[in-house]
Chains A and B, each alone.
Chain A
């Protein structure tokens, strides 16, 4: 037994102790803290205060990505996620409904401004809110804006209803006449993820009308567009090996599967939107994300951007995924919070939020309007995205939430 007295044996035991502590103690402590995100809506309300206080100062010139297009997208993304997050919070939290509705209205006014929609106008050469339908899809702007408008429509009547109706009609007509069921994000660019947002906005408006007892051909057609898109997307734009959504693809007019890379960020973001559309595709995507990409590090939840089948030489980060560190994507991990919350996967939400509390640097500050929470290393865009993801309603409860909201709508 002399080996047990040896110096190297002491070192091995000490390293094992260190590894055990690193693997268990920090993640347990942060998971315990992160479970607070699922105990009521108090934290979400505090995060919303921070998002809403920062939003008025968000403009394209406040970002410096090196690309005017991305600066504009980030400014719009901050506002649209704020509008979506506030609306989802209002839908689920009766106590903060009034303040969240008015915050959602302010965010919608912000993102429909001439300046904020400039990035899309510059790319298309025409304004996305032109009254005349030019046949251009403008999905980078209209798909996301309309999801925010449909969620606002679910809360009560407002001055934004007419715009939401017009965009919904326009997008619905475009999908009806699109054999490939993919509309353009920008000229010549097709992203299934952006299309998922657009069809979710159409289907949700149909569901809101149904919840209000307005069962007519138009609301049925809107819900049908969502179901049809989900069916065709499963055949054409879902990678059969991984079950994940392709990040970009040319429109396929037959059920032949498109080629392209399946990605975590696009799949998780699409799953968040499809929560409002289709039971099967939404659940399939969440299962695939969990099985293929969720790969915790030291007990902290993190998502890989690419499934293992994609060759390493082809795994590059971009503006959607953010910088990849050892293949892990912060964007995919953030969007996964929304998809997991919607399926009721509490364990994944907790482990992912433990990671965001650690690396995002969740901070609490007292202010005149009440306590504010912010992820200090992410800025207003990260706060707004996390608000939208952390307020994603449970899939099975959407109809009952819409019905409850309809009863309060004059």
Chain B
């Protein structure tokens, strides 16, 4: 349950970050600011854009795949436990 809650929290926070960044970037010219003469503007834009892209990859690809892997691992372990406990039960 703890792990499930951790996955859910991770996905919800990633979703929240995605919505916040999308609202910040909507109809802005973030690409144009990447090479801005002001280093602070360029860095902020690059960080925003990169965080947005990486977070979307995490939210929509990596996290579902990771959750599926974690769930299947838990299911396998749950299935293996009774199998390995059987010989002890017989003795």
Q: Is the CB of B22 within 8 A of A376?
A: yes
> With A22-B61, A363-B22 in contact, do A54 and B76 touch (Cβ < 8 Å)?
no
* Partner of A13 from B22, B29, B61, B72 at Cβ < 8 Å: B72
Interface: B70 (CB within 8 A):
yes
Q: Is the CB of B68 within 8 A of A10?
A: no
Query: Which of B29, B53, B68, B72 has the largest count of A CB atoms less than 10 A from its CB?
Result: B29
Q: Is the CB of A363 within 8 A of B36?
A: no
Interface: A74 (CB within 8 A):
yes
A134 vs chain B, min Cβ distance (A): 32
Q: Is the CB of B32 within 8 A of A14?
A: no
Q: Is the CB of A361 within 8 A of B52?
A: yes
> With A18-B69, A22-B62 in contact, do A363 and B29 touch (Cβ < 8 Å)?
no
Q: Is the CB of B26 within 8 A of A363?
A: yes
Closest residue of B by beta carbon distance from A65 = B35
Interface: B88 (CB within 8 A):
no
Q: Chain B contacts of A312 at CB under 8 A?
A: none
Residue-wise, chain A 1-39 has the 8 Å CB interface mask toward B (1 for contact) of: 000010001110111011111100110011000000000
Q: CA–CA, A18 to B80, complex, Å?
A: 19
Determine chain A's interface SS by DSSP, over half rule.
helix
Closest residue of A by beta carbon distance from B71 = A17
B47 vs chain A, min Cβ distance (A): 13
Q: Is the CB of A17 within 8 A of B56?
A: no
> With A30-B60, A64-B32, A382-B31 in contact, do A365 and B65 touch (Cβ < 8 Å)?
no
Q: Is the CB of B69 within 8 A of A17?
A: yes
Interface: B1 (CB within 8 A):
no
Q: Chain A contacts of B42 at CB under 8 A?
A: 64
B40 vs chain A, min Cβ distance (A): 13
> With A13-B76, A377-B25, A377-B53 in contact, do A26 and B61 touch (Cβ < 8 Å)?
yes
Residues 293 to 321 of chain A near chain B (Cβ within 8 Å):
298
* Partner of A11 from B29, B61, B73 at Cβ < 8 Å: B73
Q: Chain B contacts of A25 at CB under 8 A?
A: 64-65, 68
Q: Chain A contacts of B37 at CB under 8 A?
A: 64
Q: CA–CA, A397 to B33, complex, Å?
A: 40
For the complex of A and B, the 3 pairs showing the least CB-CB separation, nearest first, are A18-B69, A22-B65, A14-B73
Interface residues of A (CB under 8 A from B): 5, 9-11, 13-15, 17-22, 25-26, 29-30, 50, 53-54, 62-66, 74, 298, 358-359, 361, 363, 365, 372, 374, 376-382
Interface residues of B (CB under 8 A from A): 22, 25-37, 42, 49, 52-53, 56-57, 60-62, 64-73, 76-77, 80, 83-84
